[in-house]
Structure 1
């Protein structure tokens, strides 16, 4: 099998932002197949294509599972433990999705007293873990070097952005939007259409800025690796030159 490339997991990451889109598409197809379009069944939670459907959490979790198994495959190829921690990040979305879906399958008291607190805890964990990974791994914006101290920024950083406040903005907005994105992963909140639409629009903005910083980080890695390879190739030539000059002097 072919190894996982940057383009593979780059597209898969974008798919995680489209999980709600895939779920809505599945709901639309379901209603067309079952002839529930423009009928009262459209608003009934317990209809074939209503909010009770187990297909909703399955479709929502599918992009995260794709990314999860990509990370496991990367670990198999590279043996880097970072891949396992990355896989854990995507795994934290699973309880958020399925605990939310449980609202329609348990007693109201059980949901209020037990499952909803678990859903809230898992949502906080998923949001904070994802934010941490964005800043320290996907973007490689070390809090103690490239943001608050920011003494030696990369030349690409100056060319592409040029202002420190951009990094403050992207970190702050990413934290807020990571938290709000959990709202869209929750099946029991999908009936708040205006709120969901607003959060979806904000997620487009978050993912758009994520792409710029993610690509910059990958570019820095590629150019840094190329520079090291060139330095390694030039070193033997320089050593031969020095040895030649030394023997000539002798």
Structure 2
């Protein structure tokens, strides 16, 4: 997702490995490395001047980049239409009584990977905006030269967008035509391929980036070493994907117990059913990781804000477990006792998280920063001078914080379309949160030295009292 630390010789003519976008530079040359994309984007006249008549004929038959891009868009749109057509026809072939159960099961298998694909697309947009602005995200995350750019991130997202819906379409088609065993194998194959791509040890499929991501996830799960910005940044994103982890757990559980393409899992008391105790445990896991990260930071820095941040993540625990109690208590107890407690804990978590986003993560204050756009060091590096963006970010963040906690309600668990919509909205909230969080970190890295320099420029009291010494004497 970000990039890894792979040692590359400076004398090598290729600064990028085979799995990355090649950047070519001659050994010992002091000129800027030449990007291959820039070479292909040069005008045809420039290449003709260098290579003569031979390259003139080669350049004439080579299609333009705009034509290739339009052709790819056309193929992608045609593929999307075919998948939608086959999927809709397959659903209509099924019995109306079992159609909802079948769609719920199919949605559960592919919903997590679809949301992950969406997050990769959004992360590519984040990188693109940072590349257009003065925010050096590579320095913030301590990335090397092999980190993924926004173009490569979008390439990964494009392949994910093709593979996941294709597997889902095959699942719908095979099941509706009576090939139950072949249909059941589709999500199993997809999950196995995704796992193999992540852990593949060879230098393909962006090895350094995959290694960096896996190493960061390991540091999040076991916060033994000092916490870096990448560690708690990715951990914060994982809290927004708690529902994705919950659906992954239920999907893998059904695959392990061979309940794919069956309705045995729909029994509430089954090991993979809706009453499973593993669901709240997986939902709370990202918040527990973030909680222990804050404790580790407090151990290293002794800053009280780390304890207050840990308290924020601990407020999500009662929201999750009180919601899960609906399946394990009598209806009267839930209505009279646990439901009011759940509502109270939800409000506390939403307001606390909203306050922390605005005042700590974003370092925005309604009265001290938003309206001071004339002061250069107080405004955003990404969205300079656009006040409406700040109003929108604060207002939408408050609303989406409330809907995110409401999503954890037990009675919405089977309404998969509502849950999917709210989860997608939460990922959009996290997407806009990334802009302000990263630029705030960049401001901390760049403003502290500038503030120190400005303080050194202020004349001291003795400098104002004593006249400057003049070493030039008249002869």
- Tell whether the structures are fold-level matches, with TM greater than 0.5: yes
CA contact (8 A) 1:146 1:152 kept: no
- Of residues 357, 363, 372, the one that matches 1:150 is 372
SS of residue paired to 1:146: coil
Rg larger for: 2
CA spacing shift, 1:154–1:47, aligned 2, 3 Å: farther
User: Is residue 90 of structure 1 aligned with residue 90 of structure 2?
Assistant: no
1:128 deviates by: 0.7
Query: 1:140/1:158 Cα in 2 relative to 1: closer, same or farther (>3 Å)?
Result: closer
| Count of residue pairs brought into register by the alignment | 246
Q: Which whole-Å deviations, capped at 9, do the CAs of 1:46-105 have from their partners, x for residues lacking one? A: 221111111001100010000001111111111111111100110000000000111111
- Aligned mates of 2:230, 2:307 — CA distance in 1: 19
User: Which residue matches 2:359?
Assistant: 136
Match of 1:194, SS?
helix
1:23-42 equivalence runs, <5 A: 23-42=246-265
Alpha-carbon distance in 2 for matches of 1:34, 1:155:
58
Q: Is the 8 A contact 2:322 2:341 kept in 1?
A: yes
Q: Distance in 2 between matches of 1:154 and 1:3?
A: 33
> Quick one: which of 53, 56, 60 aligns to 2:279?
56
Q: Does 1:246 align with 2:457?
A: no
Separation (CA, whole Å) in 1 of partners of 2:447 and 2:417: 45
From the two aligned structures, give the one with the greater helix fraction. 1
Which residue does the alignment assign to 1:118? Answer: 341
Structure 2 partner of 1:8: 231
Matched residue, 1:44: 267
Distance 1:95 1:79 in 2: 27
Q: 1:160 aligns with which of 365, 375, 382?
A: 382
Instruction: Extract unaligned runs of 5+ from structure 2.
Output: 1-223
Task: Quote the offset at 1:2 in angstroms.
Answer: 3.0
Q: CA deviation at 1:152?
A: 4.2
* Alignment partners' CA distance in 1, 2:359 and 2:450: 23
**What root-mean-square deviation, in Å, do the aligned CA atoms of Structure 1 and Structure 2 show?**
2.6
Q: Distance in 2 between matches of 1:76 and 1:215?
A: 24
Residues 109-130 of structure 1 show CA distances to partners (whole Å, capped at 9, x for unaligned) of 1111100111111011101110
Question: Gapped runs of 5+ residues in structure 1?
Answer: none
Matched, 1:99 2:322: yes
Contact 1:65 1:91 in 2 (8 A): yes
Separation (CA, whole Å) in 1 of partners of 2:375 and 2:237: 27
SS at the partner of 1:169?
helix
TM-score (norm 1): 0.89
Give the secondary structure class of the aligned counterpart of 2:445: helix
C-alpha contact 1:177 1:203 (8 A) present in aligned 2: yes
CA-CA distance at 1:235 after TM superposition = 8.3
Alignment correspondent of 1:189: 412
Structure 1 contact 20–184 (Cα < 8 Å) conserved: no
Q: What's the CA shift for 1:156? A: 7.6
**Whole-angstrom CA distance in 1 between matches of 2:471 and 2:276:** 84
